[in-house]
Amino acid sequence: MQLFNRKKPSVRPKVGLTLGGGGARGFVQVGALKAFRERKIDFDVCVGTSVGSIVGALYCAGIAPDEIAQAAEDIEFGDLHGRILFKPNDPRKIGNMIYPIIGDAQIENLNKKYAAIATDLKTGKQVILDSGSVLNAVSASSAFPIAYAPLQLNGMNLSDGGLVNNIPADVCRMLGADKVVTVDAHASRGSGTDGTGMLDILKAMFSIMGANASVVGLMQSDIVIAPDTSAFRSTSKDGFRDMIEIGYRAAMDKCDEIEKLFEPQNV
């Protein structure tokens, strides 16, 4: 009796995109999206934290990178927060800035599978927002403590996802990604301070927390794009065009590797 070897079918892996936190440094993520678009790299799922949740939501809604960049250029930071120190702002201001672009979109209706990461201050645990209002999701994920009050949603007090999972590559895998590409907008996080003033200490504290909340995600990533954004600030869009260009170049340098992640594999 002759045995026949049947060729195993080839299956293309699902490839996810993770966009980490970093405030205004998120302009590098817009530059990365421009590179992906030029190279026709189309991810299956996207998960973001903080500014990454905003950029990711627009990407999953099918908004072109140039349009995202233009919208960001038009935003005045004064529209997002008041000038009174330690008076928390309404986090819905964050979601409202993308309302003119996508309206009251629902996560279930986006072009791609999407999730935003937030922190429930009641439990201290991660919350994965993968359904419901996009505006609520990005508002909760980006509600940086002190600057913004937590978003009250379904009995939870939701705050910035960077407190617990700043690089949510593991969640990307939970949502079905076999391979994960991460764009880290703030790879230089984690530095301390020589200052002893309250603001210096708070800044260092959040920087160290963000670094610790990024370790697992970086380990869970197959490819990490980490442009140097140390010359820029998370609270200012000064130099945003330079950040877009830096993100574009850093992503282009990795595109050959990324394309290989999409190659079919035998199962």
CA distances from 70 to 66, 134, 170 (A): 6, 20, 31
Partners of 49 in beta bridges: 117
Q: Output the CA–CA distances (angstroms, integers) from residue 250 to 67, 81, 120, 223, in the order listed.
A: 20, 31, 33, 12
For residue 36, which phi and psi values (nearest 5 degrees)?
-60, -40
Catalytic residue among 44, 50, 120, 130: 50
Give CA–CA dist 171/203, Å, rounded: 27
Give CA–CA dist 119/206, Å, rounded: 14
Q: Out of 44, 160, 170, 222, which one is annotated catalytic?
A: 160
Residue in 171, 205, 135, 187 with CA at minimum distance from that of residue 26: 187
CA dist., res. 252 & res. 250, Å (int): 6
Spatial distance between the Cα atoms of 62 and 3, rounded to a whole number of angstroms: 49
- CA distance linking residue 36 with residue 86, whole number of Å: 39
- Would residue 200 show up in a list of annotated catalytic residues for this protein? no
Q: What are phi and psi for residue 8, nearest 5 degrees?
A: -70, 140
Sign of dihedral through CA atoms 111, 114, 116, 122?
A: positive
133 is known as an active-site residue = no
Let me know if 198 is exposed, middle or buried by CB neighbors in 10 A (0-12, 13-18, 19+): exposed
Residues with catalytic annotation?
50, 160
